[in-house]
Amino acid sequence: MDDKNQKNDLKKEDKTKKVIEEAQKDVEDLLKDMEEQLGVKKENIRVIKIRLPKRNIKSILFDAIGNILLNIVLVLSISGYLTWTKDSSMINIIFFTLTYSLIDLFLKNIITLFFIKHIIKTFGMILALPTFLSVFLTIAFTDFVVITSNQRVLLMFILLIGIKYIIKKMIFNYRRK
C-alpha cells in the first residue's frame, strides 16, 4: 500500500512540476511578445502572482445564504415601489427571488470552478454574465408570478444588481479595515 501511495505522490509531483514549467514558459513567451510588439524592455515589465483564497464549503454556504437573504430583502423593498407583477403575494415574490438567487449562485460557482483563468484575464467581469443570464432564465422558468410590465421587471433587476453591488462593496471595504 505504501509503495502505491508513494508512486501516486510522485506522479502528482511530476504533474505539478510540468504544469509549473509550462506556466513559466508561457510567461516567458508573453514577455518576449510584449517586448517585440510594444518595444518595452524586459526590465520594465513586472509580473505579479495572484494567490486566490481557498474557498471551503463554509464560506460558500455563508456567501450563498447572505446573497439569498440580501436578494429577498431588496426585491421585496423594490417591489413596494414598482408594481411589476399582477399578483403581489409575498410568498410568490420570495419564491421568484429564491429561484433567481439559486440560478445566479449555481452559474457563478460553475464559472468560478471551471473558468478561473478567464475570471483573472477579464478582471472578474465575466462574473457579470451569470447575473444577467439568471434574470432571463428566472423570467422564463417561473410561471407562478405574472409579470405586468417587462420594463419594470428589468428596472427592478437593474436596481437590484446596482444596490447589491454597492452593499457588497461597502461590506468588502469594512472587512478590509
Segment 39-94, tens digit of pLDDT: 777 777 777 776 766 778 888 898 899 999 999 999 999 988 888 888 778 898 99
155 compared with 54, residue with greater pLDDT: 155
Looking at the DSSP bridge assignments, the partners of residue 116 are: none
With cut-offs at 50, 70 and 90, classify the pLDDT of residue 98.
very high
With cut-offs at 50, 70 and 90, classify the pLDDT of residue 7.
low
With cut-offs at 50, 70 and 90, classify the pLDDT of residue 10.
low
Percentage of the chain beyond pLDDT 90 is: 27
Residue 96 and residue 79 in contact, taking contact as beta carbons nearer than 8 Å: no
pTM over 0.85: no
